[in-house]
Amino acid sequence: MKKHYALLACLLMILCACTPTESAEPAAPPDTADPSPTTAPPTVEEPTASPSPTQALPPPVQTLNEGEGMQRPGPWLTFQTDEGFFFVSQDGTEVGMVPLSQDYFIANWIPAPAGGSLACLKDNMVEKILEVRSIPDNERLLQLNLSDYPGDPPAFVDENTAYQYGVDRYSAVGQMRWSHQGDILAFVASYLGPSPDVYTFDLRTGEISQLTSGPFHAVYLNWSPDDRYIFHASVEEMFRESSGSGYGGWVFYAASADGTEILQVAEGMKDRIEEHIVGWVDDTTILIANGQWWCGLFNLRKIDIENSQETTLWEGQFNDIAYDPESQSALVWVAPEDCQEEGCGALSESGFYKVSGVDGRIDLIAESPKDVLLYSMDFEPAASSFIMETDSGWLVYENASFTFSETQPIYSPDGNQVAQLIEDWGSLVVQDLQGETQFEHQHDGVLLNPVWSPDSGVLFYFAENLEKDSFDLYRVDAASYTSRLILEGRFSRYDNPPVWALP
């Protein structure tokens, strides 16, 4: 969503310059956990490696398990393809795959941050199925129809209102968020009542708990840093039947994960306004900003969820924001004043600002670059820096100064290595912090989505296979900088960047 607003801001800047997102046999989803999924026998496959343009490849030794658990310990690289979910051990010697059902498409999937579990939302435009699976043993821990409420719907004044409510209800159902410990999944469902409410699934006990109950739609689940509260909002309307731009009737709540209390935190704006969670200052203080699709962001404030104390940090307009939890501060970008809009908060002076989430101090750190359009802005923990995508390359703000890069820098978690795709994504280069090239792969097709392992010892990336009209998966050992082909021609499409699932 952040990128959505930044793109709109860029369009505004342009206008100003011109004028003064093997099928498995489907089973009827039960409403309780299913501890006994069907598994298929493993198959062993040893794909033939083809030489890298710059590195000799060791002989591959690899097992492909379909429907079985992973024998090699985690972490595991996870990604979704047209064939199914793949799980790759960090050493590259074991690959697991769970086929997808042809009766559903995958609307969302999230590996747990610990514990080796995967939550997957399956959708067929009529029902949404939540499935939670253990990666190490391929056990299905939960399969639940989130919207299968057998009771009567609420009473509505007319058919159009009932239709609008139904569309909003289906849109809200299926949101999900893991706790930081990876032992509890919070999700939105409406199978025990007609409205979308907040539920939890505890992997330790297998229990499902309903935390909230009300007539409106629960949205924006967000765990507090200590996993004590599930911060969320309740909205009267989501406007999904029309433009979908902004929700109406915001009220913020914090539900304790153990189900003992629900705190009403604050009320948001009532009209078609979006609320954006920027980050947490501490275990009970959260940063939130308003937004509208046609004018960007405004009204940055912090809220103490336990005493409902709200403090405005930035009232005027801004175009993008990224939060650094280490320094508890945000970097705010404001576009030129003639590209700001009336009615979206007070006009702000253009530039980059550091805003403290602790004491609210605001410091102008740099002017907004001229003749450069910003598309997005994020904080990179590995480099302790803010990285901004522009129309001509990437800006990196580090140690109180900006540096420019023509391609996106992809830092290893330890911050000591940087991977970049250059030459129209036809070449992958890995350099150390002194700029010395350690590895390079030149390719006839495109190279995509380099991703470092959590310990920085391995780099995986995808390569287009022009002969087979598919993608290959490569692995680079960062100690010896030797590459190895892990999967060749197994899938013609993969959806979204790969993510690590941690044990």
273-293: per-residue pLDDT in tens?
A: 788 999 999 999 999 998 887
**12 pLDDT band (50/70/90 cuts)?**
very low
Amino acid at 366: A
Q: What is the pLDDT of residue 348?
A: 85
β-bridge pairing 458-465 and 447-452:
antiparallel
What is the rounded CA–CA span in Å between residue 383 and residue 454? 14
> 228 by DSSP, 3-state: which?
coil
Closest CA to 234 of 267, 201, 260: 267
Average pLDDT of the residues in 102-127: 93
Cβ atoms of residues 417 and 403 within 8 Å:
no
Assess contact for 148 and 128: CB atoms under 8 A: no
Q: 45 pLDDT band (50/70/90 cuts)? A: very low
The letter for the amino acid at 393 is G
pLDDT at 479 over 60: yes
Residue 241: pLDDT band (50, 70, 90) is: low
Residue entry with tokens 């979206």: 344
Asked if the model's pLDDT at residue 11 lies above 60, the reply is no
Taking only the tens place, the pLDDT of each residue in 50-66 is: 334 445 454 455 566 77
Cα dihedral 276→278→281→282 (10° resolution): 60
Evaluate whether 330 touches 321 at the Cβ level (below 8 Å): yes
Angle, CA 306 vertex, CA 304 and CA 307 arms, to 5°? 75
Q: How many angstroms separate the CA atoms of 446 and 449, rounded?
A: 10
Cross-strand partners of 109: 120
Longest CA span, the chain: 71
- Domains of the chain, earliest start first: 42-102+419-503 (no CATH), 120-272 (2.40.128), 283-406 (2.130.10.10)
Question: Residue 408: its pLDDT value, please?
Answer: 95
* Cβ-based neighbour number of residue 21 at 10 Å: 4
Q: How confident is the model at residue 19 (pLDDT cuts 50, 70, 90)?
A: very low
- Exposed e or buried b per residue across 400-410, where buried means at least 16 C-beta atoms within 10 angstroms of its C-beta: eeeeeeebebb
Q: Which two tokens stand for residue 166?
A: 């139904």
- Higher-confidence residue: 309 or 5? 309
**Nearest alpha-carbon partner for 194 in 165, 231, 230, 153:** 153
